[in-house]
Amino acid sequence: MTEETRVAAGSTTEAVATPERPERPERTERVERGERRPGRGSPGGAGGREGGARKFFRRKKVCKFCVEKIEAINYKDVRLLQQFVAESGKIVPRRLTGVCTPHQRRLSSAIKQARNIALLPFAGRA
Amino acid sequence: MNRTYELMFIVRPDMAEEDQDKLISTLESAVTSFGGRVKSVERMGKRRLAYTVRKFQDGIYVLLTAEGSGGLMHELERRLRVSEPVIKFLTVRIDEEQKRLDKIKAIRAARRKASSTPAAAEAAGEPPAATA
């Protein structure tokens, strides 16, 4: 019985793996041209394996800071920071907002500084 | 000796205007006595705090930008810690960040000059090529 299940598991992983491989070179081309799009690697693979019909997230989100060329992310402009903070006060992950890595790092340290000086809450409602 | 710091602190909301001025002038004199230089003092007014600090819901925000050594900030923070009306403070060092922003602005200005005047492309072509 265990052998059967192992064989079945092996075949399903193979079936999902092959459609992923030819798509990867396309994705890297698009990625190199523009900004690094988040959620490409593991969330895409996990979605394909779990969903079955859906392959990737297909999000064409771009980094807001790269597009508008905002270089300085200050802890003082609460309105800008609040866009990246959830209702509960948590920092929204990069794969949902589409921010690129260096900007996400700076944004998160700005949010933490704002929290320390009581401009943003540590924990909101939830 | 040329470090730039930004010190933001929150004062109790029930503090009088003159006491605030007294506190700020004390800090300013401390800065100059340590051989620093006050760049700006900005009063951001009364704001609602995101969470309760020492049983206060509002606070008066003050932003002080100063130039000096690390020991200067140490002394200022010590004074703020012992002073009763100040309920919170945060010091941020901004000279490195400023350097980075100026560098980016310089690159952008050079790029703009290169795109607007093709004759100056030779001179302006070197900095973007060197950095890129």
Residue of chain B with shortest Cα separation from A116: B90
Q: pLDDT tens digits, residue range A11-27?
A: 444 444 444 444 455 44
Q: Which residues partner with B97 through β-bridges?
A: none
- The CA-atom distances, in angstroms, between B66 and each of A60, A96, A114, B24, B26 are 43, 38, 20, 12, 14
Disruptive mutation site among A81, A85, A88, A117 for chain B (greatest number of B CBs within 10 Å): A117
Is residue B87 domain-shared with residue B114, that is, in the same domain? no
- Asked if B51 lies within 8 A of A117 by C-beta distance, the reply is no
- Asked if A117 lies within 8 A of B90 by C-beta distance, the reply is yes
Is residue B114 domain-shared with residue B56, that is, in the same domain? no
pLDDT band of residue A58 (cuts 50, 70, 90) is: low
Domain that holds residue B28: 3-93
Spatial distance between the Cα atoms of B107 and A79, rounded to a whole number of angstroms: 28
Q: Is the Cβ–Cβ distance between A43 and A93 less than 8 Å? A: no
Is residue B84 domain-shared with residue B112, that is, in the same domain? no
Spatial distance between the Cα atoms of A111 and A90, rounded to a whole number of angstroms: 10
Of B88, B92, B101, the CB nearest to A118: B88
User: In terms of C-beta density within 10 A (0-12 exposed, 13-18 middle, 19 or more buried), how is residue A56 classed?
Assistant: middle
Residue A100 has pLDDT above 80, yes or no: yes
Among 4.10.640.10, 1.10.238.10, 3.40.50.920, 3.90.1150.10, what is the CATH number of A64-116? 4.10.640.10
Centre a 10 Å sphere on the Cβ of residue A114 and count the other Cβ atoms it contains: 22
Q: Which residues of chain B have pLDDT under 50?
A: 120-126, 129-130, 132
Is residue B59 domain-shared with residue B35, that is, in the same domain? yes
Spatial distance between the Cα atoms of A87 and A75, rounded to a whole number of angstroms: 18
Three-class SS of chain B: CCEEEEEEEEECCCCCHHHHHHHHHHHHHHHHHCCCEEEEEEEEEEEEEEEEECCEEEEEEEEEEEEECHHHHHHHHHHHHHCCCEEEEEEEECHHHHHHHHHHHHHHHHHHHHHHCCCCHHHHHHHHHHHC
Which pLDDT value is given to residue B36?
Answer: 87
Q: Is the Cβ–Cβ distance between A113 and B90 less than 8 Å? A: yes
Q: Which residues partner with A113 through β-bridges?
A: none
For chain A, state the CA radius of gyration: 19
Report domain extents, chain A: 2-51, 64-116
Is residue B49 domain-shared with residue B103, that is, in the same domain? no
Centre a 10 Å sphere on the Cβ of residue A115 and count the other Cβ atoms it contains: 20
The ipTM assigned to this model is 0.78
Min Cα separation B9/chain A (Å): 8
Residue of chain A with shortest Cα separation from B103: A71
Disruptive mutation site among B8, B40, B54, B86 for chain A (greatest number of A CBs within 10 Å): B8
What is the pTM for the complete model shown? Answer: 0.67
Of A71, A75, A121, the CB nearest to B51: A121
Is residue B27 domain-shared with residue B53, that is, in the same domain? yes
Min Cα separation B118/chain A (Å): 24
Which pLDDT value is given to residue B114?
Answer: 83
Q: Which residues partner with B123 through β-bridges?
A: none
Which pLDDT value is given to residue B59?
Answer: 92
- The CA-atom distances, in angstroms, between A53 and each of A6, A41, A57, A103 are 23, 17, 12, 33
pLDDT band of residue A34 (cuts 50, 70, 90) is: very low
Spatial distance between the Cα atoms of A81 and A93, rounded to a whole number of angstroms: 13
